[in-house]
């Protein structure tokens, strides 16, 4: 596999969340491998993938769609590459003709949506024959250490912390559901997609990783404007502090994932073909 562009490598190296870093590397590597020219960033949020994917020279056009106006306004501040077009749109009714995109990025989106069926039907419509979807979803069989509170509640009381309590709800924050490898594979096949591969990412982590990264960390970074570790501050310079924090948070997965593999994981990723 050809090495990623140096700018993307730097972004991944300074990303604190090991799960986000691994997901992004998977997406970048597959886009580089397939050299897709026209890409849809479905549920683009604040524009991380729209901005970074535009750095590949072979990408001619990338459309980012989201229903959240606030997120789109943030995305517009750094998605200034002329290849990128950001549009406010429902994922259930996309403003594109059929068979339009070579590739769709659907990363950490499907679990937020109330209607999986309608989403996949619409994405299949706008994807070219032979086009790919780069999919990532949270794993229902997540590691105990990633989110101990929900892990215990689900296994003892068959419940989890309300997804609306975003700062405490851990892996369930704003989520309608989590997925197993079997359930996501079955869902995709039901909608006439071919799953080329499916695998899991990030098995080992520090205790309460999700809570420290998002329940506390995200709040601190955004409210105190600590730009050196803000993944949406693309103009930031690499600092010793940001590198050190990233190394520390990634240490368990880097040291143990291959040596002591677990069945549980934070994420499931799949490459899907129409």
Angstrom distance (rounded) from CA 254 to CA 201: 11
CB 131 within 8 A of CB 123: no
Strands 101-107 vs 38-42: parallel, antiparallel or unpaired:
parallel
More confident residue, 217 or 26: 26
Angstrom distance (rounded) from CA 60 to CA 136: 24
CA angle 106, 108, 110 (to 5 degrees): 70
**Spatial CA neighbour of 175 closest among 183, 164, 185, 167:** 164
pLDDT in tens, 159-199: 999 999 988 999 999 999 999 999 999 999 999 999 999 99
Angstrom distance (rounded) from CA 59 to CA 74: 22
- Give me the phi and psi of 28, to 5 degrees please: -60, -45
pLDDT at 228: 65
Q: How far is CA 197 from CA 106, 133, 270, in A?
A: 15, 11, 6
Sign of the alpha-carbon torsion through 152, 155, 157, 158? positive
Q: What percent of the chain has pLDDT over 70?
A: 96
Partner residues linked to 38 by β-bridges? 61
CA angle 39, 109, 146 (to 5 degrees): 125
Angstrom distance (rounded) from CA 229 to CA 10: 12
pLDDT band at 66 (very low <50, low <70, confident <90, very high): very high
Average confidence (pLDDT) over 43-53 = 97
CATH class of residue range 6-273: alpha beta
pLDDT in tens, 208-266: 999 999 998 887 777 767 666 678 777 766 677 778 889 999 999 999 999 998 999 99
Angstrom distance (rounded) from CA 47 to CA 49: 6
Partner residues linked to 267 by β-bridges? 138, 201
pLDDT at 226: 66
């Amino acid at each position: 596999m050809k090495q990623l562009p140096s700018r993307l490598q730097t972004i991944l190296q300074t990303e604190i969340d090991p799960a986000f870093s691994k997901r992004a590397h998977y997406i970048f590597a597959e886009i580089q491998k397939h050299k897709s020219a026209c890409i849809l960033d479905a549920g683009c949020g604040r524009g991380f993938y729209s901005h970074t994917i535009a750095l590949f020279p072979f990408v001619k056009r990338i459309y980012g769609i989201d229903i959240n106006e606030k997120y789109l306004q943030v995305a517009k501040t750094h998605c200034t590459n002329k290849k990128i077009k950001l549009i406010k749109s429902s994922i259930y009714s996309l403003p594109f003709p059929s068979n339009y995109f070579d590739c769709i990025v659907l990363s950490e989106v499907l679990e937020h949506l109330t209607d999986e069926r309608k989403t996949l039907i619409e994405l299949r419509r706008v994807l070219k024959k032979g086009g790919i979807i780069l999919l990532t979803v949270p794993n229902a069989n997540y590691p105990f250490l990633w989110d101990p509170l929900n892990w215990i509640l689900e296994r003892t009381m068959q419940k989890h912390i309300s997804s609306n309590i975003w700062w405490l709800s851990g892996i369930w924050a704003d989520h309608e559901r989590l997925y197993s490898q079997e359930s996501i594979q079955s869902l995709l096949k039901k909608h006439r997609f071919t799953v080329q591969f499916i695998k899991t990412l990030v098995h080992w982590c520090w205790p309460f990783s999700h809570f420290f990264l998002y329940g506390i960390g995200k709040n601190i970074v955004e409210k105190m404007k600590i730009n050196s570790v803000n993944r949406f501050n693309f103009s930031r310079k690499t600092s010793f502090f940001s590198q050190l924090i990233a190394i520390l948070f990634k240490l368990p997965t880097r040291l143990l994932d291959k040596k002591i593999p677990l069945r549980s994981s934070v994420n499931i990723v799949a490459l899907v073909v129409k």
